[in-house]
Copies of this chain bind each other. A is one copy, B any other.
Amino acid sequence: MNNLLANIKIAINENLFVKDPNSSDLGKKIIHHSVIMIEEIGFEAFTFRKLGQKIDSPEASIYRYFESKNQLLAYLISWYWGWMEYRLVFETANIASAEKRLEKSIAIISNEMKENMIVDDISIKKLHRIVICESSKSYLTKDVDKANKEGAYLNYKQFVSRIVLIIKEINSGYKYPNMLLSTIIEGAHLQVFFAEHLPRLTNVQKTEDYVAKFYTELALKAIKK
């Protein structure tokens, strides 16, 4: 998989940047180091000034690429879902059974990647941790409608709708496929966070993939007639 996907470019809506960060060395440095920095110190403490110091460029230069740190976060999260869609399509391509494809999908959502891949200067592992901790902040805002109009969540919605199709294959009459899916995705992220910080809100198990198992069981029982 590494070889197949390593140099694929993820399409990002043009409203999510001022200048395409993939078009210059500075842009790539901004992406590369912002992922490292946000994962390390959190989005609240992350500032363009600190990032500028890290990459030895002035704060203002970063504003040539992103008009705010919120836009940068939206870019990264959109990239994440673009990347996840690629993975989804690839890894479910040759599975005939819809149930097995759903199972695989939930595993992709829930499980951390074992090897640390770098794609487009982005550390997948670190970006996954950013999505867990910070992604809800990108839509739980008063600007959500504006951001939505500008296409900030398109990649996320597209990812969701792909798996919704699988659910409909299993049971075309099921009334809540989108609800079920957004519940699973946001829930899976939450459980990882709770396991680490608020264990009384989850049920940590010995097996590595218990989150995926829980949500797979939940989904299949819910969907079946």
Contact = CB atoms under 8 A, between A and B. Distances in A.
Interface of A: 41-42, 44-45, 133-134, 136-137, 139-142, 144-145, 148, 153, 156-157, 160-161, 175-183, 186-187, 190-191, 193-194, 197-198, 200-203, 205, 214, 217-218, 221-222
Contacts of A176: 203, 214
A45 B142 contact: yes
The DSSP consensus for interface residues of chain A is: helix
Contacts of A191: 179, 182-183
Nearest to A40: B142
A136 B139 contact: no
A42 B142 contact: yes
Given A142-B44, A214-B176, A214-B179, A160 B201 contact: yes
Contact of A198 (B42, B139, B201, B221): B139
Contacts of A218: 180, 183, 218, 222
A194 B182 contact: yes
Nearest to A186: B190
A175 B197 CA distance: 20
A97 to B, nearest CB: 21
